[in-house]
Chain A
Amino acid sequence: MIKIIVVGNGMVGYKFCEKFISKPGQEKYQITVFGEEPRRAYDRVHLSEYFAGKSADDLSMSTSNWYTENNIILNTSELITDINREDKTIHTHLETTHTYDYLVLATGSSAFVPPIKGVEKEGVFVYRTIEDLDAIMSYAKKIKANGSTEAAVLGGGLLGLEAAKAVRDLGLNPHVVEFAPRLMPRQLDKAASDMLQSKIEELNIGIHLNKATQYIDGAESITGMMFAEEELLKVDMLVVSAGIKPRDELGRVSGLEVGVRGGIVVNNKMQTSDPSIFAIGEVALYNHMIYGLVAPGYEMADVAAEQILGSDKVMRDTIDMSTQLKLIGVEVASFGDPFIENEEVTAIIFENKFNGTYKRINVTKDGKTLLGGILVGDSSDYNGLFQIYSNAMALPPNPEDLILGSRGGETSTLGNAMDLPDTAVICSCENVTKGAICCSITDGTCETLGDVVKLTKATSGCGGCKPMVVDLVKAAQKSIGKEIKETICEHFHYTRQELFDIVKINKYTNFYEVVDHHGSGDGCEVCKPIVASIFSSIYNDTANKHVTTQDTNDRYLANIQRNGTYSVVPRIAAGEITPEKLVVIGEVAKQFGLYTKITGAQRIDLFGATLNDLPEIWRILIDNGFESGHAYGKSLRAVKSCVGNAWCRYGMDDSTTFAIELENRYKGIRSPHKLKGGVSACIRECAEARGKDFGLIAVEGGWNLYICGNGGANPKHAVLLAEQIDKETVFKYMDRFLMYYIRTAGPLVRTATWLEKLDGGLDYLKEVIIHDRIGICETLESEMETLIGTYECEWKQVLEKPRLMQRFSHFVNSEDKDDNIEYVPVRDQKMPKSWNF
């Protein structure tokens, strides 16, 4: 056996082992790993999650038996003290000696502690290992017990900000102290740093830039930091996170070439000045640089493994330092050369202080090449921009579209993931190309996204590439003609339509029956409401019957608002209301202190009702002839109408009466999404009927029926289904149309999108519901008749059954209301205090 000894069991040391054992020819080698820490290699990138409750085991890179399974000898808590290069042996602090054929130094780095007077004081820590974190945690607990609240972090770089989050998770107020005039000086320019600073300060984290610390104040333990301007920051703990120092001691004692400022010098094969000794990760000095990121470390591990196995793979000349991450909840990304701006290169900058985003791209003056950029606050464009940059792809005619989005058509400027060259690196942590991802599907090795992740390890590092990987897998599946099923969620491998049939055929009436027989697990916030809605569509069960599986609005028969209170909308069919009823609404609003507003659907919304008050509000409304308006349900909302020929001198027909009839006919019926209707008495179209799921316009000789329109985010005009038909025919076609939609649409798909996706489109729909081509009209009509015949007001049901009232109390063990609700005045009414974080 050829012996390889790996010194250091961090992320890169582990990755070396993982890569090595996956390569052909590795059988002839025996790997022995030495780590000075007591545990297996763990994920240092996500170290701050240790404070947020993750255990050391959660952070571990491998399972406890991974090393034995793969025939690797792991020695933890054993420090290598010397290398004898002539004998090819190493010596440990336990006085043992081991021989090697190849030695891989992956000793990493330690925290760099600047030589400030007093750093040895109690309460000053570094942020590097799980042991460091344990020490920080127990010290924080101690000083908190003594009433301390303030702690500082020295260093405003990536790691420093991570440490600040960790300090905050411990319940202390962090102050970030940075020597440079900006945060993350290696990745951000001043404006980006300012934006990041203001976002972080909103979270009550102090930022102190341009600060040179003179000394650490305090007798035995730290009580403050004195800055150059004689300014004292009072803190009881300090976490130093000001950079890294390569652990190159072994290189020095054994006479390997080291850099002036540390690091063991390596060539592009990752060889040190001794060809049988390799150095990888943060200890390796490549191109006069130490790379403190995981991705280059992993690439070095791969190169070293290939070299030992005799391949000629070498490290790239330039190493990409692009990063995308979330710091204390703020998205930050930087790629390529983030700062370059000169005679040939110009920067395009977009800054929005209102929502806290900053975007910068550096483009050559000919507008052809993207050289780098910075994103703060919203890094959703990162993947696309990074691909354009790293593959030197062509830019759109107006390069600013890359960060502003195309303001004309609907096409994405960042293009389709499938347009990328096969060599494009999609996952830079694991160095996985587009070709590798797509091939694994097209050659049949993998079937699903999960298979691809397992095989290539793409997305398993920082996870930033996930959306692109998902797109590529989908596109590759499609390219080999594999049907991609739009299944509901992890609990059901069915579409909504399939589930609808399953429920109907098996006559299920309870969610758990369905999930136990046809799904797995306990359901979730996606599938539960879908199944509840299917029950309602089949049996016309009101929301009261499926309380457990309804969304909050259906569960409480009201619409949840920003502060956790609810709004109440009684039905005012077609917007017609008597003065007496208007007075009732006013009185109710006054009695319960509610904010009132007219809705877009000709109704009145009463805001700010507490959970406890809902039943009493309904009681008064019902006693005065109102009923639920179902504003909370995926069901018919309102049928809007103009006043019609009763008053209007142009009216051709009685639109108000017809709208009331339609609203009462379909009220309470649950559907895949909300439904809105409109009736206009002439082609002036005052009721905006063509912007609704169904619309009627009075014409000479009857009504024109339009279907599948909507307002909202993607406005769509309804299309003509039938002309000059009478009322009876309208009801007939409407019954068939709505029932067909309810049975076949996907969850939360409105009628317009449903029609767009329907094979054969409008012509086919006409065949089905007018000419009865597939012979289902009778069934559709009778199903609809059942629904119409079984309508009940859900509010009334609650009031009649004390058992149902139990859920309308904020506390189980107290009559009190939620005391967390605060209001501010607005134009003689009130509104919830704003969310200012």
Chain B
Amino acid sequence: MENVLDKYKTVAIADVKIWFKAGTIKDFPSNRGGCIKYKDKQIAVFNFERRNEWYACQNACPHKMEMVLSRGMTGSADNVPKIACPMHKKTFSLVDGSNLNGEDYSIATYPVKIVEDEVMIGFVD
């Protein structure tokens, strides 16, 4: 089961090789998540409309490896945008993927850019 997580490594915007068109803005609900499929990866994409920001991270919650983060609730902690897993309410920063409950596991995050109406997610491969 550990290898589910091996697929997901944080991508820095400078390292992006492929900008994948995930859909148009209206395909994604506002202020919550949608999940997209890219090759064998599941990526949760959040339109944080209230802050006019977009975020993307692995859809797998590293706690129990279920593909559910896109169905979690968005929010903020000390003004850092975060996502709470719907399973056991583990929360992660959407900015750097760090665990906000003080546990060891964290999540991989991916850059998002909006070009006209297209939502593009950055990958290295």
Q: Contact check: which of A523, A811, A818 meets B75 at CB < 8 Å? A: A523
Q: Supply 22 A–B pairs (Cβ within 8 Å), ascending by A.
A: A52-B98, A52-B104, A53-B98, A329-B105, A490-B77, A491-B76, A521-B79, A525-B72, A548-B29, A548-B30, A552-B71, A564-B66, A807-B29, A811-B35, A811-B37, A812-B27, A812-B35, A813-B22, A813-B37, A814-B36, A818-B67, A837-B2
Given contacts A521-B76, A522-B81, A524-B73, are A560 and B68 in contact (CB under 8 A)? yes
Closest 3 CB pairs of A and B: A524-B75, A552-B86, A525-B84
Do B73 and A525 touch (CB < 8 A)? yes
* Distance between A555 CB and nearest chain B CB, rounded to angstroms: 7
Do B34 and A812 touch (CB < 8 A)? yes
In the complex, what residues of A have CB within 8 A of residue B114's CB?
Answer: none
CB interface residues, B 1-53, toward A, < 8 Å? 1-2, 4, 6, 9-10, 22-23, 27-32, 34-37, 42, 45, 48, 50-51
Complex Cα distance, B50 from A228, in Å, reads 63
Chain B residue with Cβ nearest A529: B73
In the complex, what residues of A have CB within 8 A of residue B65's CB?
Answer: 820, 835, 837
* Distance between B21 CB and nearest chain A CB, rounded to angstroms: 9
In the complex, what residues of A have CB within 8 A of residue B27's CB?
Answer: 812-813
Do A203 and B67 touch (CB < 8 A)? no
In the complex, what residues of B have CB within 8 A of residue A836's CB?
Answer: 1
Do B76 and A329 touch (CB < 8 A)? no
> A326 on the interface (CB 8 Å rule)?
yes
> B111 on the interface (CB 8 Å rule)?
no
* Distance between B36 CB and nearest chain A CB, rounded to angstroms: 5
In the complex, what residues of A have CB within 8 A of residue B64's CB?
Answer: 562, 835
Complex Cα distance, B45 from A812, in Å, reads 9
In the complex, what residues of A have CB within 8 A of residue B71's CB?
Answer: 552, 555-556, 560, 564, 611
Complex Cα distance, B4 from A836, in Å, reads 14
In the complex, what residues of A have CB within 8 A of residue B81's CB?
Answer: 522
The number of residues on chain A lying at the interface, defined by a beta carbon within 8 Å of a beta carbon of chain B, is: 47
Chain A residue with Cβ nearest B4: A820
> A563 on the interface (CB 8 Å rule)?
yes
Complex Cα distance, B95 from A186, in Å, reads 39
In the complex, what residues of B have CB within 8 A of residue A165's CB?
Answer: 104
> B87 on the interface (CB 8 Å rule)?
yes
Chain B residue with Cβ nearest A818: B67
Q: A548-B30, A552-B73 are in contact. List 5 more A-B contacts (CB 8 A).
A: A524-B76, A524-B77, A525-B73, A812-B45, A820-B60
* Distance between A171 CB and nearest chain B CB, rounded to angstroms: 6
Chain A residue with Cβ nearest B48: A522
In the complex, what residues of A have CB within 8 A of residue B36's CB?
Answer: 811-814
Do B86 and A523 touch (CB < 8 A)? no
Do B104 and A326 touch (CB < 8 A)? yes
Complex Cα distance, B56 from A547, in Å, reads 20
Do A53 and B78 touch (CB < 8 A)? no
Complex Cα distance, B32 from A523, in Å, reads 12
> A540 on the interface (CB 8 Å rule)?
no
Chain A residue with Cβ nearest B78: A490
Do A560 and B87 touch (CB < 8 A)? yes
Q: Contact check: which of A806, A810, A811, A820 meets B29 at CB < 8 Å? A: A806
CB interface residues, A 757-815, toward B, < 8 Å? 806-807, 810-814
Do B67 and A837 touch (CB < 8 A)? no
In the complex, what residues of B have CB within 8 A of residue A835's CB?
Answer: 64-65
> A92 on the interface (CB 8 Å rule)?
no
> A634 on the interface (CB 8 Å rule)?
no
CB interface residues, A 514-570, toward B, < 8 Å? 521-525, 528-529, 547-549, 551-553, 555-556, 560, 562-564
> A340 on the interface (CB 8 Å rule)?
no
Complex Cα distance, B76 from A104, in Å, reads 44
Q: Contact check: which of A326, A524, A556 meets B84 at CB < 8 Å? A: A524
Chain A residue with Cβ nearest B35: A811
> A254 on the interface (CB 8 Å rule)?
no
Q: Mask for A495-517, Cβ within 8 A of B = 1, else 0?
A: 00000000000000000100000
In the complex, what residues of A have CB within 8 A of residue B67's CB?
Answer: 564, 810, 818, 820
